[in-house]
Structure 1
Amino acid sequence: MKLEVRDLRKSFGGNEVLHGISFSVESGNALGLLGRNGAGKTTTIRILMNVFKGNAGAVLLDGKPFDPAKHQIGYMPEERGLYPKKTVSEQLIYLGMLRGLSAKKAKENMKKWLAKMEVSEYENRKLETLSKGNQQKVQLAQTLITDPKIIILDEPFSGLDPVNSQILKDVISEQIQQGKLVIFSSHQMSYVEEFCQQIAILNHGDVVLSGELKEIKREFGRDRLVVSSLEETPEELAHRLRDTFADLLEVEKVQKDRLIIRKKASDAKLKILERLVEQDVDLEFFGMYEPSLNDIFVEKAGDEA
């Protein structure tokens, strides 16, 4: 199963907020949909869910127009939508039946998912009496109660402590391993790196970067090296390199305990190392730079920071 978004555009009151969004994701994979507030993530997800229509473009499933009403979709919106005055069990059963389950199957699945989320003891409690973390776990149980093949999660880890985050991480990982198609939107880059094979970064309504995360990291690390010294601070080492290595490199970033440098030629790595040894730099580390997703995100979407 392959879900494709092609050249999606959306305007509100004459102001175009999506300028041709395109990406795709297949079963057994997770796509990280990333962007700062206002980038267009939630608007894109709402069009996917047919909450409202796009002005142009298409959403396709296996090459055919995608109608979410004809598929079991687990959708966890950023603005949580459960009923605080109702008990956990009655609303999960109700929502399961609303999406096509029998009363018996809805009750069976409710108990299964509350057990998985480790909140079975709250089955007959009103949702508003639970902690925020436990409410979040109930929300994910609701998302998965029909065993959906397509799962869309908008900021699922918002406000969770490490223990509850781990429970959600285990459940989401299991869904991906079972061949589900997952779209995952989050500001927390560590979770995206953990789950997502593919990413699409949105900025001001445009996709500014998309593709396989491993390949993107490899490309961003190309021509960059990491250098640190046991004796010199990063600032001192940066000053030396700017003075005596200008023909070989540029100092790109001075960090707390290391430098990120960019080679001026593809074959300059060995020459840089030889000159560092000649100048008796007491190296702590010298090697290839592997950027974090956070580094990539800031570079591609951090223009206002």
Structure 2
Amino acid sequence: MMIKLENVSKVIKDKNILVNVNLEFKEGQCYLVKGHNGSGKTMLLRMICGFLKPTDGKVIYDKEYSYGVIIENPAFFLNETAMYNMKYLADINKKIGKEEIEKWLKKFNLLEFKDKKVKTFSLGMKQRLALCQAFMENPDVILLDEPFNAIDEDNLNIVYDLLKEQRDAGKIIVIASHIENNFNYDSIITMNDGKISNVK
């Protein structure tokens, strides 16, 4: 089972955002999409999950997938607690309750801060909270835009372990980053000016 992009191009305001992209994303695989700012990484993530529609080409889904997503900066209610924010998001799909949310907060070392207002969180804590909301509903596809920003080494290793766990569970994981880190990716896709310049 996979998500396939066939000859996908996207034009926004006469600018070529994605140019003739051909890629396959398979279940049980973790992909890194790397490139400089403006290379098209974020737009590719938006295309995969259907936030964007192609100008040309098509995106083919083998089944109806559910998604866990961080794209750009997640908008939390800063004057509310971490738990309030997670419950607010969980109430949209009504898939999980308080117990499951707390389980994921614990995995990301945030359970002891669940009743603290998000405005008191460090950048790294906010990033881990964003990761928590992306993982907590057990999605089929996990799309993460620059997920490692501001996360210290100890918590980074926790994130790596959780990514491995999700990959082993058969998830499709696509990570967009301007750097290549120490994670063992199944495939590394390099983008430049909306084009795929290399896949390895």
TM-score band (shorter)? Answer: over 0.9
Corresponding residue for residue 223 of structure 1: none
**Paired residues of 2:3 and 2:48 also in contact (CA < 8 A):** no
Give 3-state SS (helix, strand or coil) of 2:91's partner: helix
**Greater per-residue helix proportion:** 1
Residue number among 157, 161, 177 corresponding to 1:166 in the alignment: 157
Corresponding residue for residue 120 of structure 1: 111
**Paired residues of 1:72 and 1:146 also in contact (CA < 8 A):** no
Give 3-state SS (helix, strand or coil) of 2:20's partner: strand
Structure 1 stretches of at least 4 aligned residues deviating more than 3 Å after TM superposition: none
Residue number among 58, 64, 87 corresponding to 2:81 in the alignment: 87
- Return the alpha-carbon distance in structure 1 between the equivalents of residues 15 and 134 of structure 2: 32
Corresponding residue for residue 194 of structure 2: 205
| Alignment CA distance shift 1:72-1:100 (3 Å) | farther
Give 3-state SS (helix, strand or coil) of 1:128's partner: helix
- Return the alpha-carbon distance in structure 1 between the equivalents of residues 65 and 2 of structure 2: 13
Q: Deviations over 1:244-302 (max 9, x none)?
A: xxxxxxxxxxxxxxxxxxxxxxxxxxxxxxxxxxxxxxxxxxxxxxxxxxxxxxxxxxx
| Alignment CA distance shift 1:185-1:79 (3 Å) | same
Answering whether residue 42 of structure 2 is matched by residue 42 of structure 1, we say yes
**1:225-264 to 2 correspondences below 5 Å:** none
User: Radius of gyration: which is bigger?
Assistant: 1
- Return the alpha-carbon distance in structure 2 between the equivalents of residues 100 and 22 of structure 1: 35
Q: If the length of structure 2 is used for normalisation, what is the TM-score?
A: 0.93
Q: How many angstroms does 1:48 deviate by?
A: 2.2
Q: If the length of structure 1 is used for normalisation, what is the TM-score?
A: 0.62
- Return the alpha-carbon distance in structure 1 between the equivalents of residues 127 and 38 of structure 2: 23
Corresponding residue for residue 300 of structure 1: none
- Return the alpha-carbon distance in structure 1 between the equivalents of residues 179 and 166 of structure 2: 20
Matched to 1:151, the amino acid is I
Q: Deviations over 1:97-116 (max 9, x none)?
A: 20232xxx321211100111
Q: Deviations over 1:65-123 (max 9, x none)?
A: xxxxx53211011322222111111111121120232xxx3212111001111111111
Query: What RMSD, in angstroms, separates the aligned Cα atoms of the two structures?
Result: 1.5
Matched to 2:92, the amino acid is L
**Sequence identity, in percent?**
28
Greater RCO structure (CA 8 Å; 6+ sep): 2
Give 3-state SS (helix, strand or coil) of 2:97's partner: helix
- Return the alpha-carbon distance in structure 1 between the equivalents of residues 60 and 112 of structure 2: 41
**1:167-206 to 2 correspondences below 5 Å:** 167-191=158-182, 194-206=183-195
Query: What number of residue pairs does the alignment pair up?
Result: 200
Give 3-state SS (helix, strand or coil) of 1:209's partner: strand
- Return the alpha-carbon distance in structure 2 between the equivalents of residues 53 and 46 of structure 1: 9
- Return the alpha-carbon distance in structure 1 between the equivalents of residues 123 and 110 of structure 2: 12
Corresponding residue for residue 26 of structure 2: 26
Give 3-state SS (helix, strand or coil) of 1:38's partner: coil
**Paired residues of 1:28 and 1:180 also in contact (CA < 8 A):** yes
Answering whether residue 48 of structure 2 is matched by residue 72 of structure 1, we say no
